Amino acid sequence: METISVFLPTRKGSERVLNKNTRKFSNVDNGLLEIKLDQLLKTELVHEIVLSSNDNASLEYGCKLALKESRLKIIERPDELALSSTNLIDLVKYVPSICSMSHILWTHVTSPFVLSEDYDNAIRTYFKSLNENYDSLMSVKTIQNFLWSKEKNDLINRLTDIKWPRTQDLMPLYEIDSAFFIASKNVYLENKDRIGIKPFLMEQSGYKSFDVDWEHDFELAELIYKNING
């Protein structure tokens, strides 16, 4: 049986959004972390959820929840792996040592609109894609608009000689929205990466791809959340 661990990292000292992990979000007292753990705990295909953090508020909330949720595992992360200057590759190398299952889904609290059914659908798609010669999966947002390079002084995604083609005739590009990355533990160990050499690009659209990265993102996400949830 193929098994899935979720790796959910948070850290203290967010520079762009103060206390973004657990500060009150809309009417949710423990904020984005509470929303994300609730979504993950409602999944059907996840076997283990690993909250990795050096943030005391995250650890405190996670430990309370773990008392009644057997799938939730709380791991205090070494400070050197939770700095704004930490090399992502060093964190990638650390992840397999704390995740017990054979495949790993990496996600973030900053994707508040990815629901339990979205994660389950991504996992199903991932295992299907393995049979189609892909070795991993990541979520993306399709961009098919006019994209200009200042250095080139021209469009970078034109496919013909037409100066202003129809947008549907432009080369589609893909923004990594960081909602989820899925790969086997072997990919982590062998490639030192959270995706393999041939990832399946799972397209998301609309607010599903929303990533809370700045203070204005936090405020806008609250408005969207209130509108969706009443």
pLDDT digit string, tens, across residues 89-128: 999 999 999 999 999 999 999 999 999 999 999 999 999 9
pTM, entire model: 0.95
The most distant pair of C-alpha atoms in the chain lies apart, rounded to whole Å, by: 62
Check: CB of residue 109 under 8 Å from CB of residue 34. Answer: no
pLDDT of residue 230: 74
Check: CB of residue 30 under 8 Å from CB of residue 112. Answer: no
The whole-number average pLDDT for the span 54-72 is 97
pLDDT of residue 222: 96
Question: What tokens were used for 152?
Answer: 């080139």
What's the rounded Cα separation, in Å, for the pair 65 and 208? Answer: 25
pLDDT of residue 83: 87
Q: What angle do CA 207, 209, 173 make, to 5 degrees?
A: 125
Question: What tokens were used for 213?
Answer: 């990265």
pLDDT tens-place string over residues 122-158: 999 999 999 999 999 999 999 999 999 999 999 999 9
What's the rounded Cα separation, in Å, for the pair 133 and 218? Answer: 38
pLDDT tens-place string over residues 15-43: 888 899 999 999 999 999 999 999 999 99
- The yes-or-no verdict on residue 1 having pLDDT over 80 is no
Q: Which residue has the tokens 């608009």?
A: 145
Check: CB of residue 105 under 8 Å from CB of residue 119. Answer: yes
pLDDT tens-place string over residues 76-85: 999 999 988 8
